[in-house]
Chains A and B, each alone.
Chain A
Amino acid sequence: MSAHLDILLEVAILLPRMSTKEHNERIELLQGSLDLLILRTLLLGATHGHAIAKMIEYNSEEVLQVEQGSLYPALHRLIKRGWISAEEGTSENNRRAKFYRLTAKGRRQLVVETSKWDKLAGAIARILRPVEQESK
């Protein structure tokens, strides 16, 4: 067994996406909610990619560790759907950066997605609550 192979193995373990079913489902869940989080964050004003990641982390009291890379496919997906737009701008430390802005359509979508999320969360909570009571 060579050292080379060991390195490969390490990479394999670190890889976010392994081909197990469980993991795939988690990604699936994250994708939908990530879109919602991005829309919610942009409601506060246009900003660039890194800042969006930081704000999500900060606002969730660092419970949600968004894998920052996965932000970009999500941003492009939202642009394609017309929910956000991208424009050139300057960041707080005077660097050129791409700014993302919520569109009118995205604003409406945020309302829809939020109420969907509330319903989902409510439903799951209702299912879980009796179990909690039983165990008490």
Chain B
Amino acid sequence: MSRRRRMLKDLDQDIRDHIAIETQENIERGMSPDEARSSALRKFGNVARVREETWEVWSFTWIEQFFTDVCFGVRALRKNPGFAIVAVLTLALGIGANTAIFSVVEGVVLAPLPYPQPDRMVLVQESRPNLAHLDISYPDFQDWQHSVRSFQQMAALTWRDYDLTGPGASAHLNGMEITSGFFSTLGVKLALGRELSPSEDLPHGAPAAVISDRLWRDRFAASPQALGKSIVLDGAVFTVVGVLPPGFRFLTDADIYTSLAQGSPMIYNDRTIHGFAAIARLKPDAKIAQAQSELSAVQENLDRLYPAADQNLGTLILPLKEALVFEVSGILLLILGAVSIVLVIACTNVANLSLARSAARTREFAIRSALGASRARMVRQLLTESVLLALAGGVLGLGLAKLAVSVIVALAPASLPRADNIAVNLPVLLFAFGISLVVGILFGLAPALDSSSVDVQVSLKAGERGSTRAHPRTQSILVIVQMALTLVLLMGSGLLLRTILHLWKVNPGFDRQHVITFKVGLSPSLTKTASSTRTAYRQLLDRIREIPGVQAADFTNVVPLSEHDNGGPFWVGAQQSTSMQDAPHALYFETGPEYLQVMHIPLLQGRFFTPADNSASEPVVVIDSVLAHSYFPDKDPMGQLITVAHWRTARVIGVVGHVKHWGLNDTGAYNPSQIYISFYQLSDEWVPAFARELSVAVRTPLDVATIMPAIRNVVYGTGKDQPVYDVQTMEQIASDSMASQRLSMILLGAFAVLALLLASVGIYGVLSYSVSQRIREIGIRMALGAERRDVLKMIIGQGLQLAVAGLVIGAGVALLLARLISAFSRLLYGVQANDPVTFMAVSLVLVCVSVLACYLPARRASRVDPMAALKYE
């Protein structure tokens, strides 16, 4: 027998003995037996409570009480299913929306990278005086690689796509060029074979490839014999040396990994070309600051050794995860803030419902208090009930969250990093559970404290009616808070809506309608030399232009609004007058002669390229209006010389309109100058690198489904090994460039509608309750001659007062938040964060919805029969 049970076994006997002795003593003092016993009982106090308190000393009592509370709570809620259902649904919406957004934040921002010791992974970047983040050059990387002692290992990589022509059907695949040691830097063990060896990571090393699990299953039937087999990429034969574990992913889905040093020698040999990313793993005890100072020291030496290329070049080490999610974490936090507002509104709604309900339960609490229940005990009972409700809401909300997450992932912009990592997983479950507990306690606390402080005598004397106490003050304040918060959300989604409307009206500098772009993997047999590559493209375009319905067609290496960055230095004049890092930068478009007709970019001065501008003729460039204004402010740019880095000095033959490349909300802050170069004038050694990047753009009034079969026919006609891929209309590309605004607007809009719905239910509930409390008063007013219209006005007025109070407070909060929102300046465009039009519009919406919500209870009030109301008591 436990000590606890032994101690408690005799308690009842002890108490009985105690009272018996006292009674005996009283009798000895001369009291009658009855009198003696009642006096002894009075002196002892409440036996039941003494017993309970003694039990509590040996307590697991709280657990026992908890189960009693849960059972009682379930019974109480079952007795009032209407309240329970509304409360659970409301909470499910709030918790569901929050859980969904939390799973996005968890998956993208919070979850650690899926590599061993992810905290030690860093990204290494370079920087220029006027640009904080710059890709690195491979020669710089090689110089760092063995000099920074805080790094356990380093690796460089660049994205590349491959045309696979065997084994199996030809396909276009994404992949990466990597240095040997890439996978061991990440800490990833291959499922089969090994990663690229240092000897394979050399310009003339044996061509080797590591392939993904997917490709291995697809092309090698998941056979271990795949190692050592050949794979044909872009016409060259590679040996498969390793297979990655399933699910491996670094930034993007990639199927093929080959040696970086076997890529384009023009790019990896040139210290001035910044086309690579570098990752590193810190040694176990090394700090970023320490690595940074070592790296800076190395780079300072390089700056001195190679002034033409590296002067003023800096380096930057960032935690890998931070670097990946930095851009989106701000927007995600904004959305998380918005969704937590919805939860607060849901909470206040349920708190209001519980207040009304607890008013009806006053008598119950008075009786329990009279029977000896302590205040803490009653608060606990009520909190148990509200936590039960919240947990039920949480379970339902989790279901909603699962649905919402799949919708969000489908809507997420391609630029959202780690989107594949978003799921309803254990941390999300814990979050939903935690938030339910907190919510249950929050919305339960006010009614609990309120109900438990009942005045026993007043409540019991009030008799059977029970609902003597209303909470008009608390309820009104809660409704005002709801209205204010709703206004803030409406304001936010209104601003984003206006932003998107503005963005659609922005003139991007070209006509995005009726343009289709796609890529073609030309057969390796046609692209053996630079001149055969040029010929192959010219012939391909000639055939495409003959297709009925094609108005114009040409290629470009940079599709506007595609986020592709092909920036590079240039100098006005015939000399490289400054170092690379100090030179002005422009975005380079390598195009064919018909490109302007395809895009409808206006020619402002001079001419565009003609077929006569080829490798034999004088090098020429066409510049955009921004470059013309900034670098030739008071002279005619026509005929001037411009020296293009990595190419040659060329004569300006024309000026064209500026194209918004960095998004429709492009304000010209980043690399606004643009230079066009004819693809046919590129030096032979550059042709292979640029040919791989070319997209064909076609202007046609026909839609994609109609024209693409004809185009595919023409392309396939020249050889079966030429995949056509990445087919997109310019409208799609423009629309995708607004994806982050669109997703934010859809989410914020959804939350605003949800908030509006909940808030109108809230104001409806409070007014209905108030009307039911005021029936007698309304009856008297009507008996004294008030018209139905007056009553209607009075009740709606009462509701509107709350709405307007909320509106004013909400406006204040929204103005304060406006500063915060302005910080996300890339999110808003063409509209100020305190835009009066948006404010008026959303206020109007809020007021209209409130009037609607007030109308129902007001109508009920106006239909009160004065006689019935007065007889009611």
Chain A residues in contact with chain B, CB under 8 A?
1, 5, 8-9, 11-12, 14-19, 24, 48-50, 53, 67-70, 72-73, 76-77, 79-80, 86, 91, 95, 97-98
Q: Which residues of A contact B375 (CB under 8 A)?
A: 19, 24
Measured between alpha carbons, how far is A77 from B18 in the docked complex, in Å? 18
- What would be 22 A-B contacts, judged by CB atoms less than 8 Å apart? A5-B461, A8-B367, A8-B370, A9-B456, A12-B369, A12-B456, A14-B42, A19-B375, A19-B452, A19-B454, A24-B375, A49-B17, A53-B18, A69-B45, A69-B50, A70-B45, A70-B53, A72-B53, A72-B54, A73-B50, A76-B11, A86-B7
B22 at the interface (CB under 8 A from A): yes
- The residues of B that contact A86 with a CB separation of less than 8 Å are 7
* Residues of B contacting A: mostly: helix
Task: For the complex, give the distance between the alpha carbons of A49 and B19 in Å.
Answer: 10
Q: When the two chains form their complex, are residues A80 and B370 in contact, meaning their CB atoms are under 8 A apart?
A: no
Interface string of B433-473 (1 = CB under 8 A from A): 00000000000000000001110110011010000000000
CA distance A48 to B453 in the complex (A): 38
Instruction: Assess the A8–B460 pair: CB atoms within 8 A.
Output: yes
Structural contact, A1 and B22, CB atoms closer than 8 A: no
CB of A95 within 8 A of CB of B57, answer no
CB closest residue in chain A, given B463 = A1
B44 and A67 contacting across the interface, CB-CB below 8 Å: yes
Q: How far is the CA of A79 from the CA of B8 in the complex (A)?
A: 12
Q: Is the CB of A17 within 8 A of B21?
A: no
For the complex, give the distance between the alpha carbons of A95 and B46 in Å.
24
Q: Indicate whether A19 sits within 8 Å of B453 (C-beta atoms), given known contacts A67-B43, A68-B18, A98-B14.
A: yes
A73 and B54 within 8 A (CB): yes
B residues 784-819 in Cβ contact with A at 8 Å: none
Instruction: Give complex CA distance A11, B456 in Å.
Output: 11
Q: Which residues of A contact B456 (CB under 8 A)?
A: 9, 12, 18-19
Closest CB in chain B relative to A19 CB, distance in Å = 4
Which residues on the A side are within 8 Å of B7 (C-beta)?
Answer: 76, 79, 86
Chain A residues within an 8 Å CB radius of B370: 8-9, 11-12, 15
**A42 to B866 alpha-carbon distance, docked (Å):** 73
Interface residues of B in 1-56 (CB under 8 A from A): 7, 10-11, 14-15, 17-18, 21-22, 42-47, 49-50, 53-54, 56
Chain B residue nearest in CB terms to A57:
B43
Give the CA-CA distance A48 to B58 in the complex, in Å.
20
**By the criterion CB–CB under 8 Å, are B461 and A49 in contact?**
no
Determine whether B330 belongs to the interface, using a CB cutoff of 8 Å to chain A.
Answer: no
> Smallest CB–CB gap between A89 and chain B, Å?
12
Q: State in angstroms the CA–CA spacing of A50 and B454 once bound together.
A: 36
Count A/B pairs, Cβ under 8 Å: 93
* B452 proximity list for chain A (CB < 8 A): 19
Instruction: Give the nearest-CB partner of B365 in chain A.
Output: A19
- A76 engages B58 (CB within 8 Å): yes
Q: Is B575 an interface residue (CB 8 A)?
A: no
The answer to whether A5 touches B10 (Cβ under 8 A) is no
Check A19–B460 contact: CB distance below 8 A: no
A68 & B17 in contact (Cβ 8 Å cutoff)? no
Residues of A within 8 A of B18 (CB): 49-50, 53, 68
Residues on B with C-beta less than 8 A from A69 are: 15, 44-47, 49-50
Distance in Å: Cβ of B231 to nearest Cβ of chain A: 76
- Chain B proximity of A53: nearest CB distance (Å): 8
Across-interface contacts of B453 in A (CB, < 8 A) = 19
- A5 adjacent to B45 (CB under 8 Å): no
What distance in Å separates the Cβ of B358 from its nearest Cβ neighbour in chain A? 15
Given contacts A19-B375, A68-B43, A69-B45, contact A80 B15 (CB under 8 A): no
Please measure, in the bound complex, the distance between the C-alpha atom of A68 and the C-alpha atom of B18, giving whole angstroms.
Answer: 9
B668 contacts the other chain (Cβ, under 8 Å)?
Answer: no
- How far apart are A41's CB and chain B's nearest CB, in angstroms? 15
Bound together, the chains give a CA A27 to CA B461 distance in angstroms of: 28
Contact of B822 with A by CB under 8 A: no
Contacts of A14 in B (CB 8 A): 42
Contacts A50-B21, A97-B14 known; list 4 others, CB within 8 Å. A8-B460, A16-B45, A69-B46, A69-B49
Q: Are B10 and A73 in contact (CB under 8 A)?
A: no
Find chain A residues with CB under 8 A from B53 CB.
70, 72-73
Contact of B44 among A12, A68, A76, A95 (CB under 8 A): A68
Contacts of A73 in B (CB 8 A): 50, 53-54, 56-57
Give me the 5 closest cross-chain CB pairs, A-B, nearest first.
A69-B45, A69-B50, A73-B53, A12-B370, A76-B57
Residues of B within 8 A of A15 (CB): 46, 370, 372
The reply to whether the CB of B374 lies closer than 8 angstroms to some CB of chain A is: yes
Which of A5, A17, A49, A77 contacts B14, CB < 8 Å? A49
Question: How distant is the Cα of A123 from the Cα of B370 in the complex, in angstroms?
Answer: 38
Give the chain A neighbours of B45 by CB distance below 8 A.
16, 67-70
Which single residue of chain B is at the shortest CB-CB distance from A96? B17
User: How far is the CB of B692 from the nearest CB of chain A, in Å?
Assistant: 80
Considering only CB atoms, which chain A residue lies closest to B6 in the complex?
A86
Q: Which residues of A contact B460 (CB under 8 A)?
A: 5, 8-9, 12
Residues of B within 8 A of A19 (CB): 369, 374-375, 452-454, 456
Tell me the complex Cα distance, A70–B17, Å: 15
Which residues of A lie under 8 Å from residue B457 when comparing CB positions?
9, 12
Partner pick for B10 among A1, A91, A98, CB 8 A cutoff: A98
CA distance A14 to B14 in the complex (A): 23
| Minimum distance in angstroms from B369 CB to a CB of chain A | 6
Contact A72 B50, beta carbon cutoff 8 Å: yes
Shortest beta-carbon distance, B24 to chain A, in Å? 8
Closest Cβ neighbor of B59 among chain A residues: A80
Q: Chain A nearest CB: distance from B51 CB in Å?
A: 8
Chain B residue numbers with a CB within 8 Å of A18 are: 369, 456
Q: A50-B17, A67-B43, A95-B17 are in contact. Are A76 and B461 (CB under 8 A)?
A: no
Report the minimum CB–CB distance from A24 to chain B (whole Å).
Answer: 8
Residues of A within 8 A of B50 (CB): 69-70, 72-73
Residue of B nearest to A52 (CB): B18
Q: Which residues from B are CB-within-8-Å of A17?
A: 46, 49, 372, 374
What are the residues of chain B within 8 A of A5 when measuring CB–CB?
460-461
Which of A16, A50, A70 is most buried by chain B, counting CB atoms within 10 A of its CB?
A50
Asked, given contacts A1-B461, A17-B372, whether A72 binds B17 with beta carbons under 8 Å apart, the answer is no
Interchain CB contact under 8 A, B43 and A72: no
Question: Given the complex of chains A and B, what is the CA–CA distance between A80 and B57 in angstroms?
Answer: 8
CB distance from B378 to the nearest CB of A (A): 8
Interchain CA distance A24-B374 in the complex, whole Å:
10
Q: How far is the CA of A8 from the CA of B456 in the complex (A)?
A: 10
Q: Report Cα–Cα, A10/B419, bound state, in Å.
A: 68
Q: Is the pair B22, A72 in contact by a Cβ cutoff of 8 Å?
A: no
Q: How far is the CA of A68 from the CA of B456 in the complex (A)?
A: 25
Report the minimum CB–CB distance from B568 to chain A (whole Å): 76
CB–CB B57/A77 < 8 A: yes
Central interface residue in B10, B54, B374, B461, by most chain A CB within 10 Å: B54
Q: How far is the CA of A10 from the CA of B272 in the complex (A)?
A: 95
CA distance A86 to B8 in the complex (A): 12
